[in-house]
Amino acid sequence: MSRRMRTDTAGIRKDGEEAASRAQGPGDVSGAPVTLEQKLRKLVIFLALPVIGIILATFAALLSYAGKYREILHNVTMASEFNQDFKESIDLKMYYYVVGSRYSEGLPIEEVKAARELARSLRDTTTQKESWKAVNDVSKLCENLESKIYQIEKTQSYDERQTQLENNIYVLTDMIQSYVYTYLYYEAARLDELQSQMTKRLYLEIVLILLFAAALLLWMVRRMIRFGRSVTGPISALCSRVREISDGDLTVREPVAAQEYEIQTLSNGFEQMVERLSRQIEQNRQEQISLRAAELALLQAQINPHFLYNTLDTIVWLIETDKNEQAVGMVTDLSGYFRSSLSKGRDIITLREEEQHVRSYLHIQQVRYKDILKYRISIEGQLGSCLIPKLTLQPLVENALYHGIKMKRGQGEITVTGYEDGEDIRLTVSDNGAGMEEERLRQVRAAMESRERVGFGLATVHERLQLLFGQEYGLEITSRSGEGTVVGVRIPKRKTDYSLPVR
């Protein structure tokens, strides 16, 4: 139990004790809280004494029956467990062994020996003649089965093994199962006989108990009425409070006053729960505000005027140099890029749409930086319909280009991959660019954990993913100076839409 939970529990207990003490009033000299357990204990004592004599007498009379019944029931239970899958297991393992299957686990000798020992154990504790004979036959058949298994082991011919499997193993396991059923039948009949005897005895005891119950009834009614009044009143008040809470009233109120410690503690706990729930709702509201702010920041980052100006300048240059087809392709990519950014107002899109958004962006940038930029996108096809928060990958790709590829000499490559990892999806954006020094890497990681909006925009993406899915999800970054950077993304695999936040 965490420290906070222990503190809350201690606080509830202390509040309950104080409230219960106040509920005693000035007439209670001791001031100790009265618990439901104490009141119920008194009732139990007065109710138990008159029937203890009957219980002792009944116990002595039924003890012998119970011993026999328990012993037979134990045998029936063991036999039932024995018979549950013995034949299927032995037959299947022997079949695998005979045909030389790769699933073969060898000869099931130990299982047969265990079955034989179980049969002997049942035989030693069985008193019925028919049952004893059946379980004794099971023991002998197990010995015979063991010898037939060894016979198959010594046989080299496949056809002879098959013949022995069908004529010996299958027949013996079927007979064993049949004799176990016979044993269960006779033991069940014995159980039914004992049950009948015990039922007659119980009828007699019930008559005696009813006579005592009639004498105690009036006294019980008086005691229970007084006890009920002290409990039902506060419980009714608690029910009314619960209905108010279920209707949305989360206003913290004074706990219900009760004489019983448990009811008082329960009322105090309700009010503390309402207080914590109100705080949690407010915290969730603030997280939603932070989430929307992070998404807005990402969206505003995509509507980058410099990116748009540079792209339009490149299109104009292509047209002026009569590269009209490339210009048309670049306009198409730019249209697709901003169409993906808008996504008809949706915050959650498919991974296929996010991949197309990144592809449009990289295609545009490759036209501008064709001498230094290559890219490769490899995302498993079955993940295309999975959902992902919009603008998760594109900021990471942009970061890889401007802070990785452009910062090194010569041509670089950006690789985007995606694969299934159990119930999660793993995405990576890697580059072989300039990379980061160890100190800079520590700063970026610290900014991501503190949700500080600095660095390369990674913190914003990381914050949004954790707000959506929890602390176990988000970004992981590794980098080496002069070798490049790898940013990993972990999100849950989902194909049905979800609201924000999902936690």
Phi and psi torsions of 101, nearest 5°: -70, 150
The stretch 80-107 carries a mean pLDDT of: 81
Q: What is the pLDDT of residues 176-214, one digit of tens each?
A: 888 888 887 877 777 777 777 777 776 777 777 777 767
More confident residue, 327 or 392: 392
Q: From CA 177, how far away is CA 85, in angstroms rounded?
A: 9
More confident residue, 5 or 492: 492
Q: What is the pLDDT of residues 134-161, one digit of tens each?
A: 888 888 888 888 888 888 888 888 888 8
- Are 71 and 215 found together in one domain? yes
Domain of 120 in residue numbering reads as 36-233
Domain membership of residue 263 (yes or no) is no
Q: What is the pLDDT of residues 214-235, one digit of tens each?
A: 777 777 777 777 777 777 777 7
Domain membership of residue 282 (yes or no) is no
- Are 195 and 315 found together in one domain? no
Q: What is the pLDDT of residues 257-312, one digit of tens each?
A: 666 677 777 777 777 887 788 777 777 777 776 666 665 555 555 545 656 666 77
Domain C-terminal end among 191, 206, 233 = 233
Using pLDDT thresholds of 50, 70 and 90, give the confidence band for residue 102: confident
3-class DSSP state for residue 138? helix
CATH number of 478's domain: 3.30.565.10
- Are 311 and 206 found together in one domain? no
- Are 333 and 450 found together in one domain? yes
Domain membership of residue 447 (yes or no) is yes
Flag whether the pTM goes above 0.75: no
Q: What is the pLDDT of residues 399-421, one digit of tens each?
A: 899 889 988 888 899 999 999 99
Domain membership of residue 119 (yes or no) is yes
CB atoms within 10 A of CB 161: 20
Number of domains the chain is built from? 2
Domain C-terminal end among 196, 212, 233 = 233
- Are 199 and 334 found together in one domain? no
Domain C-terminal end among 233, 261, 288 = 233
Scanning 126-165, the segments in alpha helix (DSSP H) are: 129-154, 158-164
Q: What is the pLDDT of residues 37-92, one digit of tens each?
A: 777 777 777 777 766 766 776 676 667 666 666 766 766 776 676 656 778 888 88
Domain membership of residue 73 (yes or no) is yes
- Are 486 and 348 found together in one domain? yes
337 neighbors 361 (Cβ within 8 angstroms)? yes
Q: From CA 386, how far away is CA 372, in angstroms rounded?
A: 33
Domain membership of residue 245 (yes or no) is no
Domain membership of residue 22 (yes or no) is no
Domain membership of residue 134 (yes or no) is yes
State the sign of the Cα–Cα–Cα–Cα dihedral 348, 353, 354, 358.
Answer: negative
- Are 214 and 356 found together in one domain? no
- Are 330 and 454 found together in one domain? yes
- Are 203 and 92 found together in one domain? yes
- Are 179 and 311 found together in one domain? no
